[in-house]
Homo-oligomer: A and B are copies of this chain.
Amino acid sequence: MLRPSELAPGLLLGDDVDLADGIEFGGNVVVHDGVRLGGGVRLGDGCVVGKPPSLGARSTAPRELPGPAVLGEGVTVGAGAVIVAGAGIGAACVVADQAHVRERVEVGAESVVGRGASVENDVRIGARVKLQTGAYVTAWSELEDDVFVAPNVTLTNDPTAGRRGAAQELRGAVLRRGCRLGAGAVLLPGVEVGEEAFVAAGAVVTHDVPSRTLVMGVPARVVREIEP
């Protein structure tokens, strides 16, 4: 249950919040029940950490209650960002202003979820991954270390666009180590992008992208290999 706290102006703290040393609070921050914050975490104005998921009546996301949100040492959370219960944010990550990270997302150390970017439920993200402004990472995706996702990239996971039967699984993207997705690219459900591959800006990716290739266009086609 949220209650006003004297630790910072406008701060609301839930029950059993675990605060390490040296945490900096902006104004009007909300930290929900059970959240664990590592040393030196910085929480920006009006951010919300550990809120329970709010699923629609027809959402197919799992409904078991997630554990608390856990933020590692030195994590920075931006103004107006929202981190849902059950997210785990690695040390020294930045969840930038107005970004959004959902339940059961795991983010490795030193990664950045850019301003207004969105990471849906049940996504695994490696270390040093960079999601830029407005990038959209669909549920059930996997992003390995050192992946780069440019602004307003869109990943998808539902080939039926809302008409799945009960037996059909969502298939997120698989982004292998060090691949890069250019601005505004769109990936069809279940696409895998290989190691060190590069998807050009504005590409619409309908098939898997081989490692160390550059793909481009609508639909995206391999235009050349990328030299190591």
Contact = CB atoms under 8 A, between A and B. Distances in A.
A140 interface: no
Nearest to A110: B57
A197 to B, nearest CB: 11
A30 B28 contact: yes
Interface in A154-173: 154-156, 161-163
With most chain B CB atoms within 10 A of its CB, the pick from A28, A44, A138, A155 is A28
A58 B92 CA distance: 10
> Which of A80, A100, A154, A188 has the most chain B CB within a 10 Å cutoff?
A154
A9 B9 contact: no
Contacts of A46: 28, 30, 46, 48, 80
Interface in A103-134: 110, 112, 115-116, 118, 120, 128, 130, 133-134
Contacts of A80: 46, 48, 80, 82, 98
A188 to B, nearest CB: 6
Contacts of A8: 2
A56 interface: yes
B98 A54 contact: no
Contacts of A201: 154, 156, 186, 188, 204
A152 B151 contact: no
Contact of A136 (B54, B151, B198): B151
A136 B27 CA distance: 27
A148 B134 contact: no
Contact of A9 (B2, B138, B184, B204): B2
Nearest to A136: B151
B134 A136 contact: yes
Interface in A76-94: 76, 78-80, 82, 92, 94
A51 interface: yes
Interface of A: 2-4, 8-10, 12, 26-28, 30, 42, 44-46, 48, 51, 54-59, 76, 78-80, 82, 92, 94, 96-98, 100, 110, 112, 115-116, 118, 120, 128, 130, 133-134, 136, 138, 148, 150-152, 154-156, 161-163, 180-184, 186, 188, 198, 201-202, 204, 217-218
